Amino acid sequence: MTLKTPEEYEESIKRDVNLYLFGEKVENFWEHPIIIPSINAVKKIYELAQDDHYKELMTAKSHLTGNIINRFTHIHQSTDDLIKKVQMQRLLGQKTACCFQRCVGFDSANALYSVTYEMDKKYGTNYHKWFKNYWIDVQNQDLMVDGAMTDPKGDRSKRPIDQEDPDLFLHIIDEDDKGIYIKGAKIHQTGFLNSHKAIIMPTLSLREGEEDYAVSFGVDTNEQGITLIYGRQSCDTRKLEDGKCDIGNFKYGGQEIFVIFDNVFIPHENVFMKGEVEFSGELVNRFAGFHRQSYGGCKVGVGDALIGASALISEFQKVDRASHIKDKLIEMVHLNETLYSCGIACSSQGFQREAGNYEINMLLANVCKQNVTRFPYEICRLAEDIAGGLICTLPSEADLDSKEVGDLLKKYLKTCEDIPVKDRYKLLRFIENLTMGVSSVSYRTESMHGAGSPQAQRIMISRQMDIDQKKKLVKDLLDLE
């Protein structure tokens, strides 16, 4: 069976990793209260793939083996696959209200599939064959794979080879007949700890002389020489407290890891690019394009949860009949569905690469992500407007439950007979969580910087916009010389 159950997934990630959090080494990370919600979010993917109701979206037929696989390991074979990917991500955003972490490896695999094919065609290398073998194993074992792109980058005004510390961009430091040795770091690594494997890619388009930096490979996330440092998120230590309501989204959460590679060995058959500088930019662009498409799904699903919470709190506080509240909800839906439209549009306008797989429309994917850098902020603003100031002045759950002041708080937090105070409390904390707490990482900051900061999309839009063709339209319309 190629589909793992959530329980099998959880068992399979119980391995030794060199992980640090709050300055201390963490053993048995799967038992750590700050980490558990991020594992729950990934388990939701495995759970829904088992459910007949969701199998159309959550699974696909592998073109490599003919097996039914989790869609997160699929290589897109049609525009319908691209559309289903976005729909699946929206569904998971709705079910977890956070980042469920499995898309990055999915997007890197789909980018590498065509780039390795084109490299082999030009240079007679074996990358495509090696990558397919690697990926068949991922599909057959239903593995979670991270995709790692972002280097620390040091002095932004300098190229990788001009940095004082050459490790500020990940690179090859040695090579022998068995493989290559890697040093450097990848930051903002979504779900790296919860992944079995990772695909590493260059962070930017490289030039002649920078061959050691033009490297892509697959690696086990617990490989010798890899150190993981867990990223902090706003209000994360609330997960260490006794209660759960103060956490907001207490079942699910994202995960970001700072990953350091120190002389990590990679066998040749797991290397998918080594020195082909002219393909590095294409790999970056294709991966980024797929991930910008992803945001037209996942962020929309989380947006659905925030809109739902805003509508509910307006009912709980008896303002739901006010016309301006209704109008704010309409605006939130309008913004959210605009993002979804972009995700669907760049998918339905996708095209087939020579390797056979399907890719998104690059211009529309970049427009999608550019909108994502803005609309969730406005949706958050409207959610905060509707919810009211209590989302950031509310006393703790311990006070709500205390013998001394609990009844007083309940008396003054009561809105009307049929609304339990605890439910109102939960909703306010949930809105706090999504707009400024742990899940604001997935919903706000990641909307800005995930899949590339806004300027990166503007550069891609400028490359694709074809202003000359638009000017020609007007010249033809007006018979201009």
Give the interface with Fe ion as residue ranges (CB under 5 A): 450
Rounded distance between C-alpha atoms, residue 447 and residue 374, angstroms: 8
Residue from the set 246, 450, 456, 460 that interacts with ligand SF4 by CB under 6 A: 450
Tell me whether residue 79 is one of the annotated catalytic residues: no
What's the token pair of residue 37? 């919600």
Subset of residues 161 to 190 that bind ligand SF4, contact rule: CB under 6 A: 190
Across the beta sheet with 145-148, what order do the strands follow? Answer: 145-148, 197-200, 215-220, 271-274
Selected range binding ligand SF4 among 4-12, 148-156, 384-392, 442-450, rule: CB under 6 A: 442-450
Q: Which residue is nearest to Fe ion (CB)?
A: 450
Decide: is 101 part of the binding site for ligand SF4 (CB under 6 A): yes
Rounded distance between C-alpha atoms, residue 184 and residue 173, angstroms: 10
- Closest by alpha carbon to 417, among 322, 316, 325? 316
Rounded distance between C-alpha atoms, residue 214 and residue 200, angstroms: 11
Decide: is 452 part of the binding site for ligand SF4 (CB under 6 A): no
Which CB sits closer to Fe ion, 83 or 302? Answer: 302
Among candidate residues 73, 76, 103, 235, the one labeled active-site is: 103
Tell me whether residue 256 is one of the annotated catalytic residues: yes
How many residues bind ligand SF4 (CB under 6 A)? The answer is: 12
Tell me whether residue 295 is one of the annotated catalytic residues: yes
Which CB sits closer to ligand SF4, 2 or 445? Answer: 445
What's the token pair of residue 462? 């400028």
* CB atoms inside a 10 Å sphere around CB 140: 16
What's the token pair of residue 459? 């550069």
**Shortest distance, CB of residue 285 to Fe ion, whole angstroms?**
17
Among candidate residues 150, 190, 221, 435, the one labeled active-site is: 190
168-177 contacts: CB < 8 A, separation 24 or more?
Answer: 169/203, 169/213, 170/200, 170/202, 170/203, 170/213, 170/215, 170/261, 171/212, 171/213, 171/215, 172/212, 172/215, 172/274, 173/212, 173/263, 174/263
Site string for ligand SF4, 384-423 (x = CB under 6 A): ----------------------------------------
Residue from the set 17, 75, 88, 99 that interacts with ligand SF4 by CB under 6 A: 99
> Which partner, Fe ion, ligand SF4, none, binds residue 294 by CB below 5 to 8 Å per kind?
ligand SF4
**Shortest distance, CB of residue 373 to ligand SF4, whole angstroms?**
13
Max CA distance (Å), the chain: 84
Rounded distance between C-alpha atoms, residue 237 and residue 34, angstroms: 7
Decide: is 108 part of the binding site for ligand SF4 (CB under 6 A): no
Do residues 120 and 127 lie in contact, with contact meaning Cβ atoms separated by under 8 Å?
A: yes
Among candidate residues 46, 113, 117, 295, the one labeled active-site is: 295
Question: In the complex, which residues of this chain contact ligand SF4 (CB under 6 A)?
Answer: 99-101, 103-104, 190, 294-295, 298, 442, 446, 450
Give me the active site residues, please: 99, 103, 190, 256, 291, 295, 298, 446
